């Protein structure tokens, strides 16, 4: 697979997706989930999630209509915390995703009294990670994610 092409596609699709916040392009599905589609040339992504609080979902990337990469994620905002504030910080972090690791936000991002942190292992072909947001010393958000290449050989 063209890892560099995948990396560039993920940078564009992630910034145009949830991080970009253009909810007019989001599709509300019959099962209650939301899908954020993105297409560029031979590449296509399908980010589908459930939530509210907590939330969970998956992003699948297709090349020439064949699934080549995916990520699954699950996260929550702590009880009693305004989710809109937290997701505003999260979107800010996701817009600053590292060029080499374009699946979530940077290692650290600060917005006012909030600090987003992200730690991960692996590369685009196989990775896992955890992101958190603290308000001062208080943990108010956490999400786990993992993913990588799919369908490389017959199973």
Write the pLDDT tens digit of every residue in 62-119: 999 999 999 999 999 999 999 999 999 999 999 999 999 998 999 999 999 999 999 9
Question: Are the CB atoms for 133 and 86 separated by under 8 Å?
Answer: yes
Residue 113 lies in a domain: yes
Sign of CA dihedral 48, 23, 146, 64: positive
State pTM to two decimals: 0.90
Range of the domain at 85: 3-149
Residue 155 lies in a domain: no
Residue 118 lies in a domain: yes
């Amino acid at each position: 697979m063209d890892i560099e092409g995948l990396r560039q596609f993920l940078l564009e699709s992630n910034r145009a997706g949830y991080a970009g916040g253009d909810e007019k392009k989001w599709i509300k599905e019959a099962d209650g989930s939301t899908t954020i589609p993105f297409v560029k040339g031979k590449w296509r992504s399908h980010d589908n999630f459930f939530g509210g609080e907590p939330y969970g979902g998956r992003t699948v990337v297709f090349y020439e209509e064949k699934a080549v990469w995916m990520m699954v994620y699950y996260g929550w905002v702590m009880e009693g915390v305004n989710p809109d504030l937290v997701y505003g910080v999260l979107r800010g972090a996701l817009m600053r995703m590292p060029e080499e690791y374009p699946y979530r936000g940077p290692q650290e991002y600060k917005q006012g009294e909030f600090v987003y942190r992200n730690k991960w292992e692996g590369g685009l072909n196989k990775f896992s990670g955890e992101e958190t947001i603290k308000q001062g010393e208080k943990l108010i958000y956490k999400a786990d994610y993992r993913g990588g290449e799919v369908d490389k050989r017959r199973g």
